[in-house]
């Protein structure tokens, strides 16, 4: 058995947090780590008790949803709320931080920003991080899916392919469907 690498473990946590996002424009998750321990997590969504974008739509002004508190800010605010120091910590984010989050990350004493996907990487944000000696590293999440029903899904797809085959569809089309299923499931019988 191969153990998951630390950067993949923490990035996977950020992607999991992103699943809680309530803004429909972009789902983002952030995990703050110190000494290989998770100290906080956040996702983008409305203020506690507020109206959520998924309920009433985004509140967009100047092409930004102003209803949303960003994932990085939520994670940093969680640390502030519970008195958890962020000095010399690391943050794992699903997307490159915006300018406001970049400034907050720097002010909080975060020393490393790991991000999975480029997203409007602002040149001034990059410059601020460099000048503050905050290391930035792109760490794409390698596919790691926990699927408790994969066997049943594979059986279902195989049954469908069998029925399609019986219907008289061209052998080349069947072959293409089998190849696509094999790619999706890594193996197919």
* Catalytic residue positions, numbered: 72
The CA-atom distances, in angstroms, between 1 and each of 9, 67, 101, 144 are 15, 44, 38, 14
CA distance 182 to 154: 9
Tokens 């991080």 locate to: 129
CA distance 14 to 117: 12
Pairing of strands 112-117, 135-138: parallel
């Amino acid at each position: 058995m191969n153990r998951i690498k630390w950067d993949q473990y923490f990035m996977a946590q950020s992607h999991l947090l992103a699943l809680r996002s309530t803004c429909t424009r972009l789902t983002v998750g952030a995990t703050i780590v110190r000494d290989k321990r998770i100290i906080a997590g956040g996702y983008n969504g409305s203020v506690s008790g507020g109206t959520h974008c998924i309920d009433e739509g985004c509140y967009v002004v100047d092409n930004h949803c102003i209803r949303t508190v960003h994932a990085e800010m939520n994670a940093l605010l969680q640390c502030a709320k519970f008195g958890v120091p962020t000095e010399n910590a690391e943050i794992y984010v699903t997307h490159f931080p915006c300018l406001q989050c970049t400034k907050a990350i720097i002010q909080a004493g975060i020393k490393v920003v790991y991000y999975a996907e480029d997203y409007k990487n602002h040149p001034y944000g990059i410059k601020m991080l460099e000048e503050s000696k905050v290391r930035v590293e792109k760490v794409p999440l390698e596919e790691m899916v926990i699927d408790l029903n994969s066997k049943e899904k594979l059986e279902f797809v195989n049954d469908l392919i069998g029925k399609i085959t019986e219907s008289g569809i061209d052998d080349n089309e069947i072959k293409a469907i089998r190849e696509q299923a094999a790619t999706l499931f890594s193996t197919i019988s």
